[in-house]
Amino acid sequence: MTRTAGSTALLTPELRTTFFYLTFYMGPGAAVMFLPIWLAEKGITPEQIGLINAVPVFAILALNLVVGRIADRAQDWRQVIVVGALIAGVAPLGLFVANDFVGILLVWTLASLPGGGIGPVLDAATMRLTRRNGSDFGSIRAWGTVGFMLFNALTGLLVVWLGSGVFVPLFVGLTMLRALVSLQLPRFRAPPEQLPISSLSPSRGSVRQMLAQPWFVLPLLGFCMVFGTHFVLNAFASLLWKEQGISEAIIGPLIALGAGSEAAMMFAWKRFGGRISARHLILASAAVAVLRWTAMAFSPPVAVLVLLQLSHGITFALGYLGCVHFIANWTGEDIAAETQSLFTVGQQAMSVLAAVAFGWLVANWGAHAFLAAAGMAAVGAGCVAVSLRLKQPKAVS
């Protein structure tokens, strides 16, 4: 009896959420590593690969606007997360029979929609849970990156050992694992006997009122542009690196190295995240992104790629955490998921533009397409700088 109670007590809401984050990005980790190569082996052109990556994101744009609002009005955010994870566990089964461009595009879109829809809800719900309990969002979210990183590396090795036919069963198995783990998620909202965080830190206005303030919108827009440049890396890096003569056994660990840098930044966030304004951190991530993509454009050797991948913790994780905390600083629980979903919509919109444009650029320019990504990140940095001129930050805003 005592042992059972003690064991249950160890499964805190934070730990149960951490288990889910660990599985949440395993499937995407495998896809980033091998989906472009798998598609190319099936005769899919670079332009079509860009569309296969872009169309699901475009479809998620409209879905997120609805899902965030539904989640904020549900009894608990958990309900929406579990339903989405279960659907996402079944949809990828169609990959076993899809062989042409249209079939793969349809199945990949249906498989991507549920996971893409619940991602911002999960982030918003976890942020509110950790702020209420005094725990650390970054260290929980970091385990999602660990899962992503693990299957970046493992997928490359499995393909080398077992052949490309292992990709689809592996991806389907990982999405089903995520669905099963979602069933143990905790409730995220404050119980009735606790004061909701929205009462302690209410929103400065409705979602529409917040979006009407340029100082609030510009930093998020700026990072959305930086995020879009990372989508180019996800969609084409493995293909470009293979064309440079780098083997899958090296490509997987290279991608995993970036994810490892991301995880390290998230684990370290609590040490400095509250000491520097969120917008200054977002600006730093954009500035380093300009340098990273400029260097990537000149097909550097593996030793340099290692250094560039290590910068991922700054170009992505630092900016992402800065935005999530920026949103939490200025919104309450009443609009948490909807605002986070709108921010995700912005990221996805920029990803659509990047994927479609860079499909053509990669086909014609090869790795030099990363110069356009550097320019896009520079514009994002400018947006954050304008916001800082419009409204000086508080200590954590």
- Structure-model confidence comparison of residues 326 and 33, the more confident one: 326
Using alpha carbons only, give the angle 29, 33, 36 rounded to the nearest 5 degrees: 125
What mean pLDDT is predicted for residues 105-117? 90
Residue 308 CB partners (closer than 8 Å, separation 6+): 292, 295, 296, 300
| Statement: 10-187+203-390 belongs to CATH 1.20.1250.20 | yes
Q: Hunting for tokens 């089964």 — which residue is that?
A: 93
Residue 282 CB partners (closer than 8 Å, separation 6+): 219, 222, 223, 318, 319, 322, 323, 326, 384
Contact 323, 278 (CB under 8 A): yes
113-135 tens-digit pLDDT: 888 889 889 998 998 898 888 88
| 193: helix, strand or coil | coil
Residue by residue, what is the 3-state secondary structure of 208-256? HHHHCCHHHHHHHHHHHHHHHHHHHHHHHHHHHHHHCCCCHHHHHHHHH
Residue 105, pLDDT > 90, answer yes
What mean pLDDT is predicted for residues 363-383? 90
Residue 364, pLDDT > 50, answer yes
**Residues in the chain, total:** 397
Residue 204, pLDDT > 70, answer no
Helices (H), 74-206: 77-90, 101-133, 137-162, 167-182, 197-200
- Structure-model confidence comparison of residues 193 and 315, the more confident one: 315
- Structure-model confidence comparison of residues 9 and 188, the more confident one: 188
Per-domain boundaries in the chain: 10-187+203-390
Output the pLDDT for position 200. Answer: 42
- Structure-model confidence comparison of residues 26 and 254, the more confident one: 26
pLDDT band at 5 (very low <50, low <70, confident <90, very high): very low
253-299 tens-digit pLDDT: 887 788 789 889 998 887 876 678 889 999 999 999 999 999 999 98
Portion of the chain with pLDDT greater than 70, in percent: 90
Portion of the chain with pLDDT greater than 90, in percent: 39
Mean pLDDT of the chain: 85
Please, what is the angle between helix 248-272 and helix 319-330, to 10°?
A: 40
Output the pLDDT for position 2. Answer: 42
- Structure-model confidence comparison of residues 74 and 292, the more confident one: 292
Output the pLDDT for position 198. Answer: 42
What mean pLDDT is predicted for residues 59-71? 81
Residue 355: left if φ>0, alpha if ψ -120 to 50, beta else—which one? alpha
- Structure-model confidence comparison of residues 164 and 101, the more confident one: 101
Lowest mean pLDDT among 41-55, 261-275, 310-324, 326-340: 326-340
The structure's pTM equals 0.76
Contact 231, 351 (CB under 8 A): yes
